[in-house]
Chain A
């Protein structure tokens, strides 16, 4: 089964250690893993380290991934709003890296399919600069999907999306991960989304891993108090799903 295991993973910018001690069990394909933590905790750094964009100690073990492919794909927060490119071109660009100038019909059909699946085909020939933050985020997802990764790292996936789009996109990603046996890691701020959509959760705070494991085991009242400094309860809703109810912040 496709998946990855992080062992003693850390990251450095120059000599400065910015992340350390990230160990996980098998984060397997077909499931989603949430990476949570306060602002500037090191979530993006973890993704960059896994994608090999920055160096540091530790190892990323890949399981059963195909060789010579875009195995790991990192989708950063940065969305390039200034580029004078259409949505269609920006997705094509993602799929054509490292290949020739000629664009095959099959490549264009794949872009059509992905834009339609994300319901942004009506934006295909709009310039990136004309899009809202949420629309650009959907384009980023399309850019990631067109590269057909086996492990997908999505930074702040839903931060600019409205509630309807958040639920739609997370549902879509969970469905896609299950159908395509892709391992998806998502940095999230909304912990209720983590509880609802993610099988595993990694908690990062101050550049260190605090916890890792099945989401329902990791996100606890104690974690919310210690890491997020909020007074909160986790209760089951009428549909039997756990939800977080925040009562206030701790001073």
Chain B
């Protein structure tokens, strides 16, 4: 085709576009720095508080610090701090992609019942030793959580593809799933032994204190699988925000894209929940903050969602240690307390549309 070149007005949008890209990269860089500092502060705080310089020395020159400091930073605090990062990132990306493929600003693993389903799956293993899929005992909890989360995600996905189903219907279905799985969870709690009940209660509150290196590695691995897959589909996922028909007109197999994304989302939502329990809010708000900062081009939205979610949960971890001196509050309890004021501030000061 002959380019449309005859009616050029001389406007140069490409320069402004390059400047916009640069601004977004700077913003993402700034978020990375904030995340790094938050993780460092998270590792500095605890029953024994350390200066940030001690933490950096323990990180970058471990041979130059005392054995006690090295063990505390590397073996005790770093798994917890990094768990906050990976869990926050996973939940936020899961929420971002759910909002994208369901075209629904209220979609998140928590609001649509996927976290509740994962929690119920984990409780089945903890209370009754029931495996949804036969696996070794040590994997029963995460596998149960994942399979139940996937079932809930697929239910939401197929419901969303039915004719006549609206955005509001999906939210109502999600709320119904939350109530259903919470009721089933309560039933298991009622029937559980004292020891199992304690384990289940840990779930409902959400806590990073039982983080270990293997758990950090698994959640990192899930992110390492999911993020490149989403990145490869960045243009297609962004196009979904223009509407299903428009995306299809660009040659995108919308049905397949949605299904594949939903499968990855269920993995991203289930694995962290199986390790740290139910943590709401991050999956809903992380993507909204990212969207307000960098828009919805997935090349920027995806990394920004990762970092916003990670930063939100890392900052929450810091607050959970400082709110009551000497005590570490379960992170699920205070996630919203940290995030809500920040979110409100963004909403009320942000002039552009955020959905």
CB within 8 A of B9: which of A78, A101, A116?
A116
In the complex, what residues of A have CB within 8 A of residue B256's CB? none
A-B contact count (CB 8 A): 140
Chain B, interface residues (CB within 8 Å), range: 35 or more
Instruction: Report yes or no: A88 in contact with B291, Cβ–Cβ below 8 A.
Output: no
A182 within 8 A of partner (CB)? yes
A83 to B18, CA, bound (A): 20
A129 to B292, CA, bound (A): 14
A150 to B246, CA, bound (A): 18
CB distance from B92 to the nearest CB of A (A): 16
Instruction: Report yes or no: A93 in contact with B239, Cβ–Cβ below 8 A.
Output: yes
With A77-B245, A116-B8, A148-B1 in contact, is A111–B239 under 8 Å at CB? no
In the complex, what residues of A have CB within 8 A of residue B6's CB? 117, 179
CB within 8 A of A99: which of B235, B248, B296?
B235
B29 within 8 A of partner (CB)? no
A76 to B250, CA, bound (A): 10
Instruction: Report yes or no: A98 in contact with B4, Cβ–Cβ below 8 A.
Output: no
Instruction: Report yes or no: A179 in contact with B235, Cβ–Cβ below 8 A.
Output: no
Instruction: Report yes or no: A127 in contact with B352, Cβ–Cβ below 8 A.
Output: yes
A196 within 8 A of partner (CB)? no
In the complex, what residues of A have CB within 8 A of residue B12's CB? 112
- At the interface with chain B, which of A19-27, A67-75, A207-215? A67-75
Look across to chain A and name the residue whose beta carbon is closest to the beta carbon of B18.
A108
Taking CB atoms and an 8 Å cut-off, the chain B residues in 212-249 that contact chain A are 231, 234-236, 238-239, 241-246, 248-249
CB within 8 A of A85: which of B1, B13, B241, B248?
B241
CB distance from B297 to the nearest CB of A (A): 5
Instruction: Report yes or no: B1 in contact with A112, Cβ–Cβ below 8 A.
Output: no
CB distance from A16 to the nearest CB of B (A): 11
In the complex, what residues of A have CB within 8 A of residue B13's CB? 88, 108, 111-112, 115, 121, 124-125
With A76-B249, A93-B239 in contact, is A125–B20 under 8 Å at CB? yes
Most chain A beta carbons < 10 A, residue from B5, B18, B245, B354: B245
In the complex, what residues of A have CB within 8 A of residue B352's CB? 84, 127
A180 within 8 A of partner (CB)? yes
Taking CB atoms and an 8 Å cut-off, the chain A residues in 171-226 that contact chain B are 176, 179-182
A80 to B239, CA, bound (A): 9
Instruction: Report yes or no: A73 in contact with B249, Cβ–Cβ below 8 A.
Output: yes
Task: Map CB proximity to B onto A117-140 as digits: 1 under 8 Å, 0 otherwise.
Answer: 101011011010110000000001
**Residues of A near any B CB (own CB < 8 A):** 51, 53, 70, 73-80, 82-86, 88-90, 92-94, 96-99, 101, 103, 105, 108-117, 119, 121-122, 124-125, 127, 129-130, 140, 143, 145, 147-150, 176, 179-182
* Given A53-B249, A89-B297, A181-B2, 4 new contacts (CB under 8 A): A93-B242, A97-B251, A113-B3, A179-B6
